[in-house]
Amino acid sequence: MTIEHTSEFIFGGSILALLCVFASILSRRLGAPILLVFLVLGMLAGENGPGGIQFDDFNLAFLLGSLALAIIIFDGGLGARKETFRVSLGPALSLATVGVVITAGLTGIAIHWILDLHWYEALLIGAIVGSTDAAAVFGLLRFAGLELKARTSATLEIESGTNDPMAIFLTVTLVEILESSQSNFGFSILSALLQQMGLGLLLGAAGGWLVAKLLKGLNLPASLYPLFALAGGLSVFGLTNVIGGSGFLAIYIVGVIVGNSPLPHSNDIHRFHDGMAWLSQIGMFLMLGLLITPSHLPPIILPAIAIALVMIFVARPLAVVVSLLPFHFPWREQVFISWCGLRGAVPIILALFPSLAGMEHTKIFFELVFFVVLISLILQGWTIAPIARWLRIEVPPLAVEPEHLQVAIPTEQEQTLHIYDVIPECQAEGMQTLRLPLSEGAQLIGVIRRGVVIKSKKSLELSIGDRVMLLASDSTKDFGALFSPSLKTNTTGSMAFFGEFVISPEAALFDLAQVYGFSLPAAHEQKTAEEYINSKFHAKPVIGDRVTLEKVELVVRETKDGRITSVGLKLIM
């Protein structure tokens, strides 16, 4: 490549990246899936589009795509909060394993009937499209301003970080079967699965602990902490792949451990990787769009539509029902999780595996998978927000911990100094410092007012512009929410959702029945509101869960450490 071509390549790539950024604004207004926009821009830049760029290097695409996927999954792990695992770890792992196998199997059967392919080839394509891209789902939900129930959002979040290894394992295994003359693969498949998952879990946990430990102990310039975290995660990813484990599972676990550890410059690490994840998605989908030749797609349009419809309306829903059967999910949430089986980057990257293995008909496989992903992005991606509203699984926006300064203190208790700004209309404005709700072990260090630290033992009324310093070793989410912007504008919506009255979770159902005039089965007369709600949601309620008792609905308003702390009562007209 000459110097002129190098400059042209850099200029063209930067223009495409800028177009993607501007296109994200348009996609937000139209409600279009942002990944679809990136993909279409890549196709327009390709050989059949105005850009006229010819790109068919599958090896380079696989390398860059795998690297981008690793960065995206690492960022997903960084954003996963440990509190979400209590509610949704079991359901998410079931979806990521059993769900992927069922989806791949049913889709493979449909492909065998539709395309009359050999069983192994049909199942290979089913395995390629078996995993979801929940990162795209959350991007769309954030653009739409929706706040999902914690059980639903956590399940999708954890599933997105853990289902890729199973799809990759199935794809690699079926490629090996097609390339080998052996007939008995039962034991080898089981041992390969255990090796992939076992090494991924082991090296991910060990690598995550080591990276977090080094981030705490090393004295680095502030700008190098995010780079060290990324390099550490990618090192674990590469090492795990080299010795035969699941690198994607390993790097997700590294992200979870690092993201939930009190680290110096934690906010910088999260912001940096959020930007890197966006850059990876833009680059990956532009590249995948360049790989496709649109003029080759018409012959496979009808079979691809049929396969996509079977996957969306049959395979994914059945997989969700079977996977979540032991966990008693409400039917509305099961329907939404089924509809969130959005396909994205992973299937397209996996579609490169047959080509890299030297198999026949690989171009057809790739184009077929690409079109199935395209249909999924259009059909499911464009309708996720309306479906969420229709199923009533969103909750009113809640006060969240705002952006604030955090400094990790290297002590045995692993404490962190938090500094919050008192802003207009936040709940902390006008509060007395002695009445601030401190968690166990947390210490109020002082208040910075006009550049001076005030350490008075007497109570001090907080005013706009103050900065409150808190030293804590545990989560400060509830404390930090006091410094978030007020949600007064959403009061009407909250009342419509949670109800007109607020009652104690210890309120007796019998007393409520007497006051509001509804009948109650004898078996529930001695129960409190919390006990009754827990019995309906198997002791794992989340904000927004509701139960109906003839004329009233009891709605979970607040929870803490798995316990209901506030219940709304809504009158049914």
- Which part of the chain has CATH 1.20.1530.20? 3-391
Region(s) of the chain under CATH 3.30.465.10: 492-571
The predicted model scores a pTM of 0.79
pLDDT digits (tens, 9 = 90+) for 308-367: 999 999 999 999 999 999 988 989 999 999 998 888 777 888 888 887 777 776 778 888
Instruction: Write the CB contacts of 436 (distance below 8 Å, at least 6 apart in sequence).
Output: 428, 444, 468, 479, 482
Range 492-571: architecture per CATH: 2-Layer Sandwich (3.30)
| pLDDT above 60: residue 488 | no
Mean pLDDT, all residues of the chain: 83
Antiparallel, parallel or unpaired: β 415-421 and 501-503 = unpaired
Homologous superfamily in CATH for domain 405-483? Regulator of K+ conductance, C-terminal domain (3.30.70.1450)
Confidence (pLDDT) at 189: 67
CB 557 within 8 A of CB 569: no
Looking at the predicted structure, is the pLDDT value of residue 511 above 90?
no
Taking the C-alpha atoms of residue 378 and residue 356, their distance in angstroms, rounded to an integer, is: 29
Q: What is the pLDDT of residue 206?
A: 96
Residues 6+ apart with CB under 8 A from 120: 174, 177, 178
Q: Which residues pair with 471 in a beta bridge?
A: 417, 443
Decide which of 361 and 200 is more confident.
Answer: 200
Q: Where in the chain is the domain with CATH 3.30.70.1450?
A: 405-483
What totals of helices (H) and strands (E) does the chain contain, helices first? Answer: 24, 9
> Is it the case that residue 489 has pLDDT exceeding 50?
no
Residue with tokens 């394992």: 169
Please name the fold of domain 3-391.
Answer: Na+/H+ antiporter like fold (1.20.1530)
Q: What is the DSSP string of 250-265?
A: HHHHHHHHHHTS--TT
- Decide if 447 contacts 468 (C-beta within 8 A): yes
Quick one: pLDDT at residue 113?
Answer: 94
What distance in Å separates the CA atoms of residue 446 and residue 460, rounded to the nearest whole number?
10
Report pLDDT digits (tens) over 11-39: 877 888 888 888 777 776 666 677 778 88
Q: Which ranges of 218-330 does DSSP label H, i.e. alpha helix?
A: 224-242, 247-259, 266-291, 301-310, 316-324
* Cβ neighbours, 10 Å, residue 77: 25
